Amino acid sequence: MKLIITDADNLNVFVGDEHKIIKPEKEIHPCTGCFGCWIKTPGKCVIHDGYENMGIEMGKCSELITISQCCYGSLSPFVKMVRDRAISYIHPDFVLRGGEMHHKRRYKNMIALSAYFYGENITATEQETARALIAANAENFDGTVKEVRFYKSIEELEGLVL
Helix (H/G/I), strand (E/B), else coil: 81:
helix
pLDDT digits (tens, 9 = 90+) for 78-116: 999 999 999 999 999 999 998 999 999 999 999 999 999
Q: What is the dihedral of CA 7, 19, 33, 138, to 10 degrees?
A: -90
Bridge partners, residue 90, by sequence: 105
Specify the pLDDT at position 159: 87
Please give the CATH architecture assigned to the domain spanning 2-157: 3-Layer(aba) Sandwich (3.40)
Cβ atoms of 117 and 80 within 8 Å: the answer is: no
Q: Determine whether 76 is exposed, middle or buried from the number of CB atoms within 10 Å of its CB (0-12, 13-18, 19+).
A: buried
> Could you tell me the pTM of the whole model?
0.94
Give the mean model confidence (pLDDT) for residues 2-23: 90
Helix (H/G/I), strand (E/B), else coil: 92:
strand
Position 11 pLDDT exceeds 90: no
Helix (H/G/I), strand (E/B), else coil: 120:
coil
Specify the pLDDT at position 120: 95
Q: Please, what's the b/e burial string for 125-150 (b: 16 or more CB within 10 A of its CB; e: otherwise)? A: ebbebbbebbeebbeebbbebeebeb
Specify the pLDDT at position 160: 87
In this prediction, residue 1 has a pLDDT band, given cuts at 50, 70 and 90, of very high
pLDDT digits (tens, 9 = 90+) for 32-77: 999 999 999 999 999 999 999 999 999 999 999 999 999 999 999 9
Q: Determine whether 17 is exposed, middle or buried from the number of CB atoms within 10 Å of its CB (0-12, 13-18, 19+).
A: exposed
Specify the pLDDT at position 128: 98
Position 161 pLDDT exceeds 80: yes
